[in-house]
Amino acid sequence: MIKIIPAIDIIDGKCVRLTKGDYSQKIIYNENPIEVAKEFEAIGIKHVHLVDLDGAKAKQIINWNVLESISKETNLIIDFGGGIRSKEDLRIAFESGASKITAGSIAVKEKETVTAWLDKYGDKIILGADTINGKVSINAWEVTTELELIDYIRGYWALGIKSTIVTDISRDGVLTGPAFDLYKNIKAEIPKIELVASGGVSKIEDVDKLNEQNIEGVIIGKAIYEGRIKLEELKRFLC
């Protein structure tokens, strides 16, 4: 069964959503992210994807206090990302309550560093692979590299990465449906990777289709916040 992972994106300590990673297209959904996290937990959700968007821009963790508060006030398993660029950021994330961290831009820029993290922390390190037109994107989606997405993931799989979150930037926050073909291709090429789909989910049928494709997890953001997917609808995926 596919794992349901709601997204909680943070700017200035508030729960927001962007469109295609554009900070100028910010919508504030709740001033208090802890309330949001508690609402998810109350219906049986076990995992959340917490992203420090300020940190992603600043290239260091900013909203660690939100992570700490959610960790202390819920039993959610928190995957934390955004701004993790150093050993100190990693320490702050884990000490503030992250169960896992997502290595995004640093995994492109400092492969040796992330490899060392993998050796030490194992499956607590998730590969964040953001993509547009089949290429890997970094720096809060401001820079598109020449790295081919599937080759990039395969390289980290060989180094020991067990799980990757793949976000199709062109679909993020626009509610047009996930990149089903992209995820199908990744699973065909790297069948044993735990693949978490991110971007574009607009209705419960999208979750059904990803589940049928044997995708291990799905991150859902705007579709929940705008009521296109009711939390009650997600209960059948929770166990």
Interval 36-79: pLDDT, tens = 999 999 999 999 999 999 998 898 999 999 999 999 999 999 99
The tally of domains found in the chain comes to 1
Cβ neighbours of 87 (radius 10 Å): 12
For the whole prediction, is pTM greater than 0.85?
A: yes
| Number of Cα atoms under 13 Å in the Cβ half of residue 29 | 21
Residues whose CB falls within 8 Å of the CB of residue 211, separated by 6 or more in sequence, listed in order:
1, 2, 237
* Interior angle at CA 83, CA 81 and CA 88, nearest 5: 100
Name the residues annotated as catalytic: 9, 130
Range of the domain at 94: 3-237
157 secondary structure, DSSP code: H
pLDDT at position 19: 77
CATH code at position 76: 3.20.20.70
pLDDT digits (tens, 9 = 90+) for 221-231: 999 999 999 99
Q: Which residues of the chain have pLDDT under 50?
A: none
**Contact call for residues 221 and 200 (beta carbons, < 8 A):** no
